[in-house]
Amino acid sequence: MCRPPVLDHLIAHVGLDREDRAIDLVAGAGQVAVGLAIRLAGVLALDPEPDTLAQLRRRGEEEQVPNLVCVLAAAWDLPALIRAAGEGGWGLLTVPNAPHWMDAEAVFPRPRGCYAPGGGIAVITHGRPLWLGERDWMRALRAYFEDWLGPGMTAHDDVAKAPA
């Protein structure tokens, strides 16, 4: 099973426990979704690619992860899925290495009401957080996050968190 230490650190940093649920946008092969599902009560894994989602479903079955729900959907489908699954009960929304593929205005403001107290969004990147880079789109992403979340975002080697 997938047990990357960054997920343990993320869960501890956000303050999640075994009873919390997460949503993983653009789940891909499930590096984050499967890892979270073995640690949490459940994970809703979204991906817009049918073949990728089929591979993720097979992986969940092979690794015996019964609380992983795979849904063929794009990021902009998130608000409707949250309404259908129940608002207010999600501890975490993860966006693994893909915020630049999404229309942030359409995706990020809407899920704010979906979180359980203390829950939030984690953008997981390979290496340095994308929004700390020097490219124009990276600066625009940081400006968006700061406008939405307020100043004071802190970056760590493997976790960046904005004030609640």
The most confident of the ranges 26-30, 67-71, 88-92, 145-149 is 67-71
**Alpha-carbon torsion, ordered 161, 120, 124, 110, to 10 deg:** -120
Among candidates 11, 12, 13, which has minimal Cα distance to 43?
A: 11
pLDDT digits (tens, 9 = 90+) for 115-133: 666 677 777 777 777 777 7
Among candidates 82, 65, 66, which has minimal Cα distance to 25?
A: 82
Give pTM, 2 decimals.
0.76
Q: What is the CATH number of the domain that holds 103?
A: 3.40.50.150
Tell me how many domains the chain contains. Answer: 1
Mark 19-45 as b/e (b = at least 16 C-beta within 10 Å): ebbbbbbbbbebbbbbbbbbbbebbbb
pLDDT digits (tens, 9 = 90+) for 91-117: 888 887 666 666 666 666 555 556 666
